[in-house]
A and B are shown apart, each in its own frame.
Chain A
Amino acid sequence: MGSLTPGTRLKSAVCTTEIMVITAPPEDIEITCGGEPMGQGADANGPSVHQDRAEGSVIGKRYTNEDGSLEVLCVKAGEGSLWTGGAAMKIKDATKLPKTD
Chain B
Amino acid sequence: MMLLEMAVAGYGDRVAFVDAEAQQSITYQGLFDAAQNAASDLRTSQASRFAILDVSNLAIPIGLFASSWAGMPYVPISYRLTDDEIDGLVERVRPAYLVTDEDHIEHFHTDSIVRWHSRNEFLTLARNGSANGAEPWSMDGDDTAALLFTSGTTGVPKAAVLRQKHLVSYILGSVDFMSADTSETALICVPPYHVAGIAAVLSSVYSGRRAVQLANFTPEAWIELARAEQVTTAFVVPTMLRRIVEALEHEHHAQMPHLQSLSYGGGKMPLPVIERAMALFPDTDFTNAYGLTETSSTITVLGPDAHRGAAASEDRAGRRRLASVGVPLPGIEIEIRDDEGRVLGPHEHGEIYVRGEQVSGEYEGIGKLTDDEGWFPTRDGGFLDNEGYLFLEGRADDVIVRGGENMSPGEIEDVMMTHDAVSDVAIVGVPDEEWGEAVAGVVVLKHDATVESLQQWVRDRMRSSRVPEWLEFWDELPYNETGKLLRREVRARLTESTSGNG
- Chain A residues lying within 8 Å of B233, measured Cβ to Cβ, are 99
Q: Which of A8, A22, A62, A100 has the most CB of B within 10 A?
A: A100
- Chain A residues lying within 8 Å of B304, measured Cβ to Cβ, are 98
Contact flags (1/0) for A87-101 with B, using CB distance below 8 Å?
000000011011111
Alpha-carbon distance between A5 and B380 when the two chains are bound, in angstroms: 33
Question: Contact: B10 with A59, CB < 8 Å?
Answer: yes
Given A6-B165, A59-B177, CB of A98 within 8 Å of CB of B10: no
Question: Contact: A100 with B287, CB < 8 Å?
Answer: yes
Q: Which of A76, A77, A95, A97 has the most CB of B within 10 A?
A: A97
Within the complex, which residue of A73, A75, A101 is in contact with B263, where a contact is CB–CB below 8 Å?
A101
Give the dominant DSSP class at B's interface. mixed
What residue in chain A is nearest B330 (Cβ atoms)? A95
Given A6-B141, A59-B6, CB of A100 within 8 Å of CB of B176: no
B40 within 8 A of A: no
Alpha-carbon distance between A76 and B297 when the two chains are bound, in angstroms: 27
- Distance between B236 CB and nearest chain A CB, rounded to angstroms: 11
Question: Contact: A22 with B172, CB < 8 Å?
Answer: yes
Alpha-carbon distance between A61 and B142 when the two chains are bound, in angstroms: 23
- Chain B residues lying within 8 Å of A95, measured Cβ to Cβ, are 330
What residue in chain B is nearest A58 (Cβ atoms)? B177
- Chain B residues lying within 8 Å of A6, measured Cβ to Cβ, are 141, 165
Contact flags (1/0) for B204-232 with A, using CB distance below 8 Å?
10000000000000000000000000000
Contact flags (1/0) for B260-290 with A, using CB distance below 8 Å?
0101010000000000000000000101010
Question: Contact: B6 with A7, CB < 8 Å?
Answer: no
Question: Contact: A7 with B165, CB < 8 Å?
Answer: yes
Alpha-carbon distance between A75 and B6 when the two chains are bound, in angstroms: 6
B5 within 8 A of A: yes
Alpha-carbon distance between A100 and B329 when the two chains are bound, in angstroms: 11
Question: Contact: A100 with B203, CB < 8 Å?
Answer: yes
B334 within 8 A of A: no
Within the complex, which residue of B10, B165, B196 is in contact with A101, where a contact is CB–CB below 8 Å?
B196
What residue in chain A is nearest B10 (Cβ atoms)? A59
- Of the A-B pairs whose beta carbons lie under 8 Å apart in the complex, a sample of 6, sorted by A's number, is A7-B139, A7-B165, A97-B175, A100-B265, A101-B199, A101-B298
What residue in chain B is nearest A20 (Cβ atoms)? B2
B178 within 8 A of A: yes
Question: Contact: B5 with A101, CB < 8 Å?
Answer: no
- Chain A residues lying within 8 Å of B329, measured Cβ to Cβ, are 97
B235 within 8 A of A: yes
Contact flags (1/0) for B139-161 with A, using CB distance below 8 Å?
11110000000000000000000
Question: Contact: B235 with A100, CB < 8 Å?
Answer: yes
Question: Contact: A60 with B6, CB < 8 Å?
Answer: yes
- 10 more A-B contacts (CB under 8 A) besides A98-B263, A99-B233? A6-B141, A7-B141, A7-B165, A59-B177, A60-B176, A60-B178, A77-B9, A99-B263, A100-B301, A101-B202
Given A98-B285, A98-B287, A100-B174, CB of A59 within 8 Å of CB of B9: yes
Q: How many residues of A contact B (CB 8 A)?
A: 21
Interface residues of B (CB under 8 A from A): 2, 5-6, 9-10, 139-142, 164-165, 172, 174-178, 186, 196, 199-200, 202-204, 233, 235, 261, 263, 265, 285, 287, 289, 297-298, 301, 303-304, 329-330
What residue in chain B is nearest A40 (Cβ atoms)? B139
The B-contacting residues of A in range 65-91, CB under 8 angstroms, are: 73, 75-77
Which 3 pairs show the lowest CB-CB distances between chains A and B? A60-B177, A7-B141, A101-B203
- Chain B residues lying within 8 Å of A22, measured Cβ to Cβ, are 172
Given A6-B165, A60-B178, CB of A100 within 8 Å of CB of B289: yes
- Chain A residues lying within 8 Å of B235, measured Cβ to Cβ, are 100-101
Within the complex, which residue of B5, B261, B297 is in contact with A75, where a contact is CB–CB below 8 Å?
B5
- Distance between A11 CB and nearest chain B CB, rounded to angstroms: 12
Question: Contact: A98 with B261, CB < 8 Å?
Answer: yes
Given A7-B140, A9-B139, A73-B172, CB of A99 within 8 Å of CB of B287: yes
- Distance between B271 CB and nearest chain A CB, rounded to angstroms: 20
Question: Contact: A97 with B174, CB < 8 Å?
Answer: yes
- Chain A residues lying within 8 Å of B203, measured Cβ to Cβ, are 99-101
The B-contacting residues of A in range 1-27, CB under 8 angstroms, are: 6-9, 20, 22
What residue in chain B is nearest A7 (Cβ atoms)? B141
- Chain B residues lying within 8 Å of A8, measured Cβ to Cβ, are 139
Given A99-B233, A99-B261, CB of A94 within 8 Å of CB of B176: yes
Alpha-carbon distance between A8 and B168 when the two chains are bound, in angstroms: 13
- Chain A residues lying within 8 Å of B204, measured Cβ to Cβ, are 101
- Chain A residues lying within 8 Å of B303, measured Cβ to Cβ, are 97-98
Alpha-carbon distance between A75 and B16 when the two chains are bound, in angstroms: 19
- Chain B residues lying within 8 Å of A60, measured Cβ to Cβ, are 6, 10, 176-178
- Chain A residues lying within 8 Å of B6, measured Cβ to Cβ, are 59-60, 75-76
Alpha-carbon distance between A20 and B141 when the two chains are bound, in angstroms: 11
- Chain A residues lying within 8 Å of B297, measured Cβ to Cβ, are 100-101
- Chain A residues lying within 8 Å of B202, measured Cβ to Cβ, are 101
